[in-house]
């Protein structure tokens, strides 16, 4: 992770919970390219090469304090097809307000946590987990400057980070 450069780029937040008319998506709720395109269209943004794309599901805001065991056992998130679609758009990073990125339990027929393989391994797209997207969703901020300093611990494969969204 110490090879990750500092990041200053355009950020896009897609409010998937809002798109589906909920404060929080239920465990196992998946979003595919269809829902991603619909959220982007309704929320007035596009996803471009080099962007950071964040998803708001409401999961951490709604579950972490209220039911931490349930929070850690499941989550809403990307399907395999949704991850492949995002990778095709060539973002710099994709993240969510969940502890991983993909839905758990996985959609029938999907490989478990395959979004990590598709995004990170196959396409070099960084993954950001447990992002604090609640305020962006509440204030309906869908486009912003995303700033992340460089992690300094050598040899680590993941890191607690403190990114900033400026709007």
Diameter over CA atoms, the chain: 43
Q: Which residue has the tokens 């110490």?
A: 2
Task: Please determine, for residue 160, whether its predicted confidence score (pLDDT) is greater than 90.
Answer: no
* Pairwise CA distance, residues 56 & 97, whole Å: 6
8 Å CB contact between 34 and 81: no
Whole-structure pTM value: 0.94
Q: What is the pLDDT of residue 75?
A: 98
* Pairwise CA distance, residues 89 & 47, whole Å: 7
Q: What is the pLDDT of residue 158?
A: 74
C-alpha of 91 from chain center:
12
Average pLDDT, the chain: 95
8 Å CB contact between 122 and 84: no
66-79 pLDDT, tens digit per residue, is 999 999 999 999 99
């Amino acid at each position: 992770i110490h090879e990750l450069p500092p990041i200053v780029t355009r950020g896009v937040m897609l409010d998937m919970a809002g798109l589906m008319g909920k404060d929080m998506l239920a465990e196992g709720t998946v979003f595919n390219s269809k829902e991603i395109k619909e959220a982007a269209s309704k929320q007035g943004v596009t996803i471009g090469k080099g962007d950071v794309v964040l998803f708001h599901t409401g999961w951490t805001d709604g579950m972490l304090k209220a039911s931490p065991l349930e929070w850690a056992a499941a989550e809403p998130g990307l399907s395999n097809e949704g991850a492949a679609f995002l990778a095709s758009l060539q973002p710099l990073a994709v993240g969510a307000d969940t502890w991983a990125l993909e839905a758990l339990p996985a959609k029938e027929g999907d490989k478990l946590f395959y979004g990590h393989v598709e995004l990170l391994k196959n396409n070099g797209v960084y993954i950001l987990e447990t992002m604090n997207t609640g305020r962006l969703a509440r204030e309906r901020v869908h486009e912003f400057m995303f700033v992340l300093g460089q992690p300094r611990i050598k040899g680590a494969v993941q890191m607690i980070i403190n990114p900033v969204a400026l709007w």
